[in-house]
Amino acid sequence: MLLSQFRRLDGQIQVVAREGTEAYEVASDQSLYDLALWCASARVSLSDCVLERGLGAAVDLDQLCEEGRVLPPVLHPDPAHVVVSGSPLALSEKADGSEKAAWFYRGAGDALVAPSAPVALPLFDFEGAVQPRIAGLYVIGTDALPCRIGFTLSRQYSNRFSRETGEAGMYGGEPRIAFGPELLVSVLPGVVSGTFRLMRGGEVVAMSPIILNVADPGHSVAELEKDLFGRGVFLRPGDVHIHMFGTPTAALFGETTALSGDVFEIEAAPFGLPLRNSVAAAPLHGSPETQPVRVL
């Protein structure tokens, strides 16, 4: 089952379910976050919860994406209660015995942008390089137990400058993390294959295959999850966690510098619609300025 959500004309969030080619509204006024939190408390699966509530009108997800109304699959009412993190270890890379599970912090909910929304280049990124990832989405139940909601496509900036200087942790306060538009409510299939493209004027200017052997991983999902949720500070009831697992697909470097108006597209069959984000050449909210510290 694939789940997504969009903003209705009345401003409310509407959850959508899809199996096969047709997508339908879930007969509920709850957001996907609310449904997931209820399922965590009731100890029922999200798929069963959706089927129990039933399906309503058919929706055109492609049209909703074009209209910019599709939202990230899971949103918390308070962005401060969203933890965005990632792992530098690729699921399908074989460990050499010296590596261990690790993770890095990427920001809170205000670092997120919706599927199909423009994404500004970070100030440190002179190449506009983007790396495709698979994100696990989680909610912390009222009993402080982490519950995986599902998996979705995601993208993050990655470049030589940030790797060489170690400035890879934050993005200067700008919203630059995209994931979605659809959420796979299931375990990952044994093999994930897809394509990562940079589009310009409707033409492909750079492309890389995505091949992820989940059935024979170097670092399993369970291993990385154990490291992520092994700290009590990250088990605050009601919080949402978005964790980006590494893939062996390289970021687009070299002569593939992104230009304003270009589109990064990540597509993999298990995850439904592709994730597309256009590139804005400058930060969306202006360059950050250093503020002096006021002594109280």
pLDDT digits (tens, 9 = 90+) for 225-267: 887 887 777 899 999 999 988 776 656 555 567 778 889 899 9
> What are the strands, taking DSSP E only, across the chain?
2-7, 13-18, 23-26, 55-59, 70-71, 82-90, 104-107, 112-113, 119-120, 130-140, 146-157, 177-179, 183-184, 191-200, 203-213, 240-246, 263-268, 275-280
Band the pLDDT of 155: cuts 50, 70, 90: confident
Question: Average of pLDDT values for 219-228?
Answer: 78
- The answer, yes or no, to whether residue 201 has pLDDT greater than 50, is yes
Domains in the chain (CATH in brackets) are 72-280 (3.90.850.10)
Question: Average of pLDDT values for 198-225?
Answer: 79
Question: Average of pLDDT values for 106-125?
Answer: 79
More reliable by pLDDT, 25 or 252: 25
Predicted TM-score of the model (pTM): 0.86
